[in-house]
Amino acid sequence: MSTEKSDQVETEVGSYFISNYPPFSQWSRESLPAAMAAMNKPPANVPLGLYLHIPFCRKRCKFCYFKVYTDQNATQVEEYLAALSREIELVSRLPVMGERPFRFVYFGGGTPSFLSGKQLERLVDRLRANINWDKAEEVTFECEPGTLSEPKINTLKELGVTRLSLGVENFSDTVLEENGRAHLSAEVYKAWKWIEAANFYNVNIDLIAGMVGETWENWRDCVRRTVELAPESVTIYQMELPFNTVYSKGILEEHAASPVADWPTKRAWVDYAFNELAAAGYSVSSAYTMIKDPQKVSFSYRDNLWQGSDLLATGVASFGHVSGVHYQNVAEWSEYVGTLDANAEDGGHLPLGRAMVPTAHQLLVRELILQLKRGYLRPAYFQEKFGVDVVAEWRDAWSRHEAAGLIEPGTLSASDATQDGAEIRLTRKGLLQVDGMLPAFFEPEHQGVRYT
Ligand SMILES: C[S@@+](CC[C@H](N)C(=O)[O-])C[C@H]1O[C@@H](n2cnc3c(N)ncnc32)[C@H](O)[C@@H]1O
Ligand code: SF4
């Protein structure tokens, strides 16, 4: 899950997770008029999703790089939720909404489950004055175990949540404490009983391979406990050290060695977990996720986004994409709530911060790198959608990846773009370091630039 070069071993400060293209560092305020223009036109014929960012957490984990606030009081939470509701009201009137229902909705964070049952119900009432997600095939809600209670879980069920994602990360209390997590393992087990009783369509558990203090013995125990809980899906991230984490700052200030296991070890841990989960009947759904029943569980948010759907992003610092244009909301609290102030002279306006208009080729690169994270690629899809033979276009990059053992032998030469069923498939070795494979597909001017 990193852009580490294949020869890099240590987990150094500055690693990051590729989630978009072109790199965020290339987005700018100058392109905002293009984003507004796209929002004010009718939509293209693509699915529509909604992301709502809830930026509160009980504590800041020492490894976390998300935009989060940890000491907001009830008045500030209310101020934020009022701004978010106002933003949704403005978004709901945009011509780009068209007649499209939301195909998927994602409450992410931060920690959406930080909100109390009352705050949640009030937020949803305010949102429902302008939008609904009755036709959505997936409504995801991210939870931190220690914030859950039985009534809150039942409220989530009533609000239409279909996919509950639980940030377990690890089962060792020593490891959880060392990494600054707000919860301990007992809270996972307490919440699990309520979650099971509420019978969500899909429950996902997040784990991180390579938390500070991780050992082989403890990791085996984490995987065993996860298999025992038997969630519908398990997502395993390899620990990253982007610049803005507490650990990264400490390492840079003290010129200290990285406290995080090296890349080969983290890959070996994920490999072990994938094998154990496979033995328990799970299948690979992407480089990060194993699922129990591929017939039952799809991942609408991910699959639609990775195939160029529109995503209306709301909340401070959120990233979205409409009619082929990328945009991000302003990243500062005061600017975000100030821009949306309903009492302002203009009644508040959308809090857009920066944008980027990718070329058709850049949209192709974006889909190619995101879809490769599934572990396979169908050249015919790209031939039909973009009119490009991706095997011929990136022949050198593919050959290098194949020579490094990252691609299943034979699948590249058999992948004729005109053939419908042909797939380029990654080996397990490739899957475990897929993010390191992706910059080879970037345009030359984006290969060395800062990503965020
Ligand atoms: C927004 S959080 C999930 C919900 C909730 N905030 C929590 O942590 O329980 C998203 C996930 O990102 C992952 N994550 C955060 N920082 C990471 C890092 N530095 N490296 C790898 N994964 C990370 C964690 O697995 C976490 O569950
Ligand atoms: S990992 Fe989750 S709980 Fe921890 S600081 Fe980040 S968003 Fe908050």
- Owner of token pair 């053939």: 419
Determine the residue of 56, 65, 106, 111 to mutate for testing ligand 2's pocket, defined as the one with the most ligand atoms within 8 A of the Cβ atom: 111
| Residue 410 falls in which region: left (phi positive, over 0), alpha (psi -120 to 50) or beta | left
Whether 252 contacts 245, CB under 8 Å: no
pLDDT the model gives residue 296: 86
Q: Does 58 contact ligand 2 (Cβ within 6 A)?
A: no
Q: Residue 31: phi, psi to the nearest 5?
A: -90, 5
Counting atoms of ligand 1 from 1, which one is nearest the CA of 64? Answer: 16
> What is the amino acid identity at position 429?
K
Which residue among 237, 239, 241, 452 is best mutated to probe the pocket of ligand 1, counting the most ligand atoms within 8 A of its Cβ?
Answer: 237
Ligand closest to Cα of 61 equals 2
- Which tops the pLDDT comparison, 207 or 422? 207
167 CA distance to ligand 1 middle (Å): 7
Fold of 360-447: Arc Repressor Mutant, subunit A (1.10.10)
Q: Which of 17, 142, 144 has most ligand 2 atoms within 8 Å of CB, for mutation?
A: 144
- Look up residue 54 and give its two tokens: 């809830």
- What local confidence, expressed as pLDDT, does residue 2 receive? 44
Atom of ligand 2 nearest to the CA of 109: 7
Q: How much is the pLDDT for 7?
A: 57
Paired tokens of 26: 């290339």
For 30-46, write each residue's pLDDT tens digit: 999 999 999 999 999 99
What rounded mean pLDDT belongs to the chain?
Answer: 93
* C-alpha torsion 142→231→15→435, nearest 10: -120
For the question of whether the overall pTM of this predicted structure is more than 0.85, the answer is yes
Is residue 369 within 8 A of residue 3, CB to CB? The reply is no
145 touches ligand 2 (CB under 6 Å): no
Indicate which ligand has the atom closest to the C-alpha of 169: 1
Report the separation in Å between the CA atom of 167 and the middle of ligand 2, taken as the mean of its atom positions: 8
Q: Which atom of ligand 2 is nearest to the CA of 182?
A: 3
25 CB burial (10 A radius; 0-12, 13-18, 19+): exposed
The predicted model gives 266-275 an average pLDDT of 98
Q: What are phi and psi of 228, to 5 degrees?
A: -65, -40
Residue 66 near ligand 1, beta carbon < 6 Å: yes
CB of 290 shorter than 6 A to ligand 2? no
CB of 112 closer than 8 Å to CB of 58 = no
Q: Is the CB of 209 under 6 A from ligand 1?
A: no
User: Which ranges of 324-433 would DSSP assign to H, the alpha helix?
Assistant: 333-339, 360-372, 379-386, 390-393, 395-403, 428-432
For residue 178, give the amino acid letter.
E
Least confident of 9-23, 74-88, 264-278, 349-363: 9-23
Residue from 54, 56, 58, 64 to probe ligand 2 pocket by mutation (most atoms less than 8 Å from CB): 64
CA Rg, the chain, in Å? 22
Q: So where are the chain's domains?
A: 24-236+270-305, 360-447
Report pLDDT digits (tens) over 159-206.
999 999 999 999 999 999 999 999 999 999 999 999 999 999 999 999
- 448, pLDDT greater than 90: no
Collapsed DSSP state (helix, strand, coil) of residue 301? helix
Q: What is the pLDDT of residues 109-148, one digit of tens each?
A: 999 999 999 999 999 999 999 999 999 999 999 999 999 9
- d(CA 128, CA 126) in angstroms, rounded, equals 5
Mean pLDDT computed over 71-99: 96
Pocket test for ligand 1, best of 114, 206, 258 (most atoms within 8 A of CB): 206
Looking at all shown ligands, the one closest to residue 234's CA atom is 1
The pLDDT, as a whole number, for residue 408 is: 93
> Going by CA atoms, what residue is nearest to atom 6 of ligand 2?
64
236 contacts 208 by C-beta, under 8 angstroms: yes
Burial of 344 (0-12, 13-18, 19+ CB in 10 A): exposed
- 202 CA to middle of ligand 1, Å? 19
Q: Which CATH number fits domain 24-236+270-305: 3.40.50.300, 3.30.300.20, 3.30.420.40, 3.80.30.20?
A: 3.80.30.20
Give yes or no for a cis peptide into 281 (omega within 30° of 0): no
Ligand 2 atom at shortest distance from the alpha carbon of 110: 7
- Ligand 2 binding pocket includes 211 (Cβ within 6 Å): no
Neighbours of 174 (CB within 10 A): 11
How much is the pLDDT for 3? 44
E-state strands within 120-278: 138-143, 163-169, 202-209, 233-238
Residue nearest atom 4 of ligand 2, based on CA coordinates = 61
Tell me which residue has tokens 């969630």: 231
For 172, the token pair is 């060792």
In this structure, the residue with its CA closest to atom 1 of ligand 2 is: 64
- Which of ligand 2's atoms lies nearest the C-alpha of 63? 1
Residue 450 has pLDDT above 80, yes or no: no
Structure tokens at 312: 């209306």
The pLDDT of residue 12 is: 87
Alpha carbon distance, N-terminus to C-terminus of the chain: 15
Share of the chain above pLDDT 90, in %: 83
Burial 251-263 (b: 16+ CB within 10 A, else e): beeeeeebbbbbb
The yes-or-no verdict on residue 5 having pLDDT over 70 is no
Strands 283-284 and 233-238: unpaired
Ligand nearest to the CA of 19: 1
Which of 339, 359, 421 is closest to 90 using CA atoms? 339
Q: Per-residue pLDDT tens for 57-68?
A: 999 999 999 989
Atom of ligand 1 nearest to the CA of 168: 9
Taking residues 334-361, report their average pLDDT: 93
User: Are the C-beta atoms of residues 261 and 247 closer than 8 Å to each other?
Assistant: no
Look-up of token digits 């948010």: 301
Q: Strand 202-209 relative to strand 233-238: parallel, antiparallel, unpaired? A: parallel
Give 70 Cα–ligand 2 centroid separation in angstroms: 10
Q: Minimal CA–CA distance to 259: which of 12, 425, 2? A: 12
**Bridge partners of 165?**
142, 204
Q: Which residues contact 28 (CB under 8 A, 6 or more apart)?
A: 354, 355, 356
Q: How far is the CA of 210 from the centre of ligand 1 (A)?
A: 13
- Rounded-to-integer distance, Cα 119 and Cα 173, Å: 30
Ligand 2 mutation target, pool 66, 178, 181, most atoms within 8 A of CB = 66
pLDDT over threshold 80, residue 440 = yes
Structure tokens belonging to residue 314: 């709301």
Contact 65, 240 (CB under 8 A): yes
Predicted confidence (pLDDT) at residue 419 exceeds the cutoff of 90: no
